[in-house]
Amino acid sequence: MENEGIETLGARDARWLGEYSQVHMNVFGTPLRVMDHGKGTRIWDVDGNEYLDFLAGIAVNSLGYAHPEWVRAVAEQAAKVAHTSNYFATEPQIELARKLVDIAGAGPGSHVYFGNSGAEGNEAALKLARLYGRTLPNSSAQFGGKPARILSLKNGFHGRTMGALSATWKPSIRTPFEPMLPAFEFVDPRNPTGLSDAFARTGQGPYGEGPVAAVIMELIQGEAGVRPLGPDYVRSVRALCDTHHALLIIDEVQTGIGRTGSWFGFQREELSGGVRPDIVTFAKGVAGGFPMGGMIAFGQRLSSLFTPGSHGSTFAGNPLGAAASLATLGVIEREGLMRNAHDRGEQLRRGIMAVGNPLFVSVRGCGLLDAAELSHPCAHAAMTWALEHGLIVNAVAPDALRMAPPLIVSEQDVDEALGILGAIPGDLPDD
């Protein structure tokens, strides 16, 4: 690592950032740096400063930057056909859908819908759940029923579009856009009877509510600070869904595609308690940096609720994204990157507690989706200090730093990151 300390913005960075704010809507605040190029786990800004990237575009760049196989796959596909519309199909798109059904172990009759982002994967799942809800007893207005409800969890995050936002907890990002979609409700996972109470409200008469069509949830609440729900809770959700014929939608936008050490988080006993979803949504790491998302519906019956015209998007199943994704999945599989995610995650979590920095009071996460809990709410100051010393991490909560490095991260990279994390001053001021 060449950076001894990148204390101030370089001249080119400063110039571009000035221009950025003049032409971009201010939804992201001022970016930290203007980036130029990357290689493996490293990225360089326009002033030539090097950073070890332990965020990977927020759990997106599974293979790091400019992986030769990924670059080749995208370039070759670009030279063949970059886009067709859904009046036509392409080989990579079909191959990828087959591969995703396989790695999810979704079973015969399962089908994939492709979109372009995590929010779109969840929109598709929520629309499918609405159709499913109409098949439930007591949901038909014609017979005095009420619309089927969709339950999501306090502190959950599912995206910024109006449907996904209706299932997203954080009031500061949701309430300015109210009214949200009807028949969405939140349940607090820390309340042991919260979910069963919500199911129990189903009933006829003036006070009875519609049946529950679906519960949507993450296994690790990523944006809430990398907080695993725990296998017992996930099992109890599955049991209630089974009893009441509701769907379980597991949002694996952040946890999916090898990040936790398995293809999907639900395949890890310690996260899911062995529970299988009815729908799994994916995005972020699936195409290693190419925008892609979607959902897998488990089984024929559920999948066939979508018929021509039910849903769609111009770019759905885009061949460039599909080629990028096939290359990403191929490298993850061949190079044993799920094993690496597991091993490097253990090294990172153990290392954070061993560096002897009083700033770190605990660590949580699974595989390469981790957070260090801080002794006081100085996450922004800690993130900035790390950045200025050549390490990218993320202030995911006022008192937590999130780490989600590329799945290719090496033992030496983790040691280097630990060196920087260990040196963050313990007496940084609160943000």
Ligand X SMILES: Cc1ncc(COP(=O)(O)O)c(C=O)c1O
| Minimum gap (Å) between residue 141 Cβ and ligand X | 31
For residue 249, give the DSSP letter: E
Strand, helix or coil for residue 112: strand
Residue nearest to ligand X (CB): 118
**Binder among 13, 123, 223, 278 for ligand X (CB under 6 A):** 223
Query: In angstroms, how far is the first alpha carbon of the chain from the final one?
Result: 28
Cβ–Cβ < 8 Å for 165, 159:
yes
User: What's the rounded Cα separation, in Å, for the pair 205 and 138?
Assistant: 11
Place of tokens 């799920």: 338
Residue 404 touches ligand X, criterion: CB under 6 A: no
CB 280 within 8 A of CB 262: no
From the list 130, 251, 249, 239, the residue with the least C-alpha distance to 184 is 130
Q: Scan residues 227-256 and list those touching ligand X (CB under 6 A).
A: 251, 253-254
Query: How are beta strands 360-366 and 247-251 bridged, if at all?
Result: unpaired
Judged by CB under 6 A, does residue 370 bind ligand X? no
Residue 318 near ligand X by CB under 6 A:
no
Question: In whole angstroms, how close is the CB of 203 to ligand X at the nearest point?
Answer: 32
Binding positions for ligand X, 86-125, rule CB under 6 A: 117-119, 122
Residue 158 within binding range of ligand X, rule CB under 6 A: yes
The DSSP 8-state label assigned to residue 201 in this structure reads T
Task: Tell the smallest beta-carbon distance from residue 160 to ligand X (Å).
Answer: 6
Instruction: Give backbone dihedrals phi and psi of 299, rounded to 5 degrees, phi first.
Output: 90, 160
Nearer to ligand X, 286 or 418 (CB): 286
Closest CA to 87 of 265, 276, 302, 317: 317
In angstroms, give the least distance from the CB of 165 to ligand X: 10
Contact letters (x/-) for ligand X, 252-271, by CB under 6 A?
Answer: -xx-----------------
Using the rule CB under 6 A, which residue among 13, 209, 218, 373 binds ligand X? 218
Residue 154 Cβ vs ligand X, minimum distance, rounded to whole Å? 14
The region, left, alpha or beta by phi > 0 then psi within -120 to 50, assigned to residue 373 is beta
Give least dist CB 399 to ligand X, A.
19
Which helix (H) or strand (E) covers residue 323, if one does? helix 319-334
Least distance from ligand X to the Cβ atom of residue 419, Å: 28
| Residues 281 to 300 in contact with ligand X, rule: CB under 6 A | 283, 293
Of 122 and 340, which CB lies nearer to ligand X in the complex structure? Answer: 122
| Measured distance CA(377)–CA(346) in Å, rounded | 25
Give CA–CA dist 297/316, Å, rounded: 16
Peptide bond just before 108 cis, omega within 30 deg: no
Which residues in the 173-212 window bind ligand X by CB under 6 A? none
Total residues at the site for ligand X (CB under 6 A)? Answer: 15
Q: Which is nearer to ligand X, 381 or 403 (CB)?
A: 403
Minimum Å gap between C-beta 344 and ligand X is 21
Residues at the interface with ligand X (CB under 6 A): 117-119, 122, 157-159, 218, 222-223, 251, 253-254, 283, 293
